[in-house]
Amino acid sequence: MIKNSWLVVCSVMTFLIWGQQAYGQDETRSVSIEHAQGKLSLSETPSRVVTFDLASLDTLDALNVNVLALPTKSVHDRLAKYSGKPYVNAGSLFEPDYETVAALEPDLVIVATRSSPSFKMLNSIAPTIDLSVWGEGFIEQFKDRSSTLAKIFARQSLYEKRLKGIEHKIAQVRSFSKDAGKALIILTNGGKISAYGPGSRFGWLHYELGFSSVLTSDDPEQASNIGTHGDPVSFEFIHEANPAWLFVVDRDAAVGSARGAARALLDNPIIKRTQAYQSGQIVYLNPMNWYVIAAGLNAVDESVTEVLEALQKSVSQK
């Protein structure tokens, strides 16, 4: 009898403890997230992560989360440490190497924008999320995607701290930019120039950071027609638009070829006649952050900071 009651007590205790653990596990580890192509619930914090999205890599890097594999050929500058061992090359930004991914047996795969068409195929290999950032509402989308990652990897407090810093800087930029005059964003590629409007991938410089655009006021219809890849323009176009601020994204530098090509391209008498040149307000943006990574935590922080510094420098000179 005594033996029996001990058995009962023990089994009840075991059950209780086990139940408690299971319950506790549920509370801290089970995360369910919505992403661009569906929902995913994770019962554990992923430890074998493959990312095809450099923005997510950048955010994970900022949150001290390690990854297993990525497109190692496409990382430069700040992310250069990911270009070799121990990181595995998982393909290109656009084309996953499915066999490598399958062999790695990841518990989370991240795709976005450039790699989002591969979502279905990857999702059949391993749990996959699509963290694409498209069109307007860049900062909102950036917050959503990066907070998703912070949630998945339980790094909320670190994330909140970084986000607060960024929001503070954005507020500072806005306080300067509203009186800073009109701006134009151009991208240089292979010795040619495209203009980007508020509706484009760089448009958040206008609607989030508060610069008015030279393209909107005169001809709204034309401005809204500017696609995500910009429109080819001549030097005369820039001369005629005569922006107070000229923001330059050097695409060739972003993909790792010639540096300083944009500077040489813009060094001509037509550009020298613009207001932006004459008041020293041609800003060469970090092309890796703006063109390749875009919505990463460090990238957004640095992008906002470099615009803020350019504004502060210009104000202090006046």
Question: Which residues make up the interface to other proteins (CB under 8 A)?
Answer: 73-74, 92, 189-193, 195, 222, 231-237, 239-241, 251-252, 255-258, 261, 265, 268-270, 273
What's the rounded Cα separation, in Å, for the pair 298 and 79? Answer: 10
Least gap, CB of 215 to other proteins (angstroms)? 9
Least gap, CB of 121 to other proteins (angstroms)? 20
Least gap, CB of 36 to other proteins (angstroms)? 23
Nearer Cβ to other proteins, position 34 or 240? 240
What's the rounded Cα separation, in Å, for the pair 232 and 25? Answer: 55
Nearer Cβ to other proteins, position 210 or 230? 230
Nearer Cβ to other proteins, position 173 or 186? 186
What's the rounded Cα separation, in Å, for the pair 295 and 90? Answer: 21
Q: Are 310 and 283 in contact (CB under 8 A)?
A: yes
Least gap, CB of 38 to other proteins (angstroms)? 29
Give 234's DSSP letter.
Answer: -
Nearer Cβ to other proteins, position 92 or 172? 92
Least gap, CB of 54 to other proteins (angstroms)? 13
Nearer Cβ to other proteins, position 48 or 239? 239
Residue 258's CB: how many other CB atoms inside 10 A?
12
Least gap, CB of 244 to other proteins (angstroms)? 18
Nearer Cβ to other proteins, position 27 or 236? 236
Helices of type H across the chain: 2-29, 54-62, 98-104, 119-123, 138-152, 156-177, 204-207, 220-224, 235-241, 251-254, 261-266, 269-272, 275-278, 287, 297-317
The SS3 assignment for 182 reads coil
What's the rounded Cα separation, in Å, for the pair 257 and 198? Answer: 28
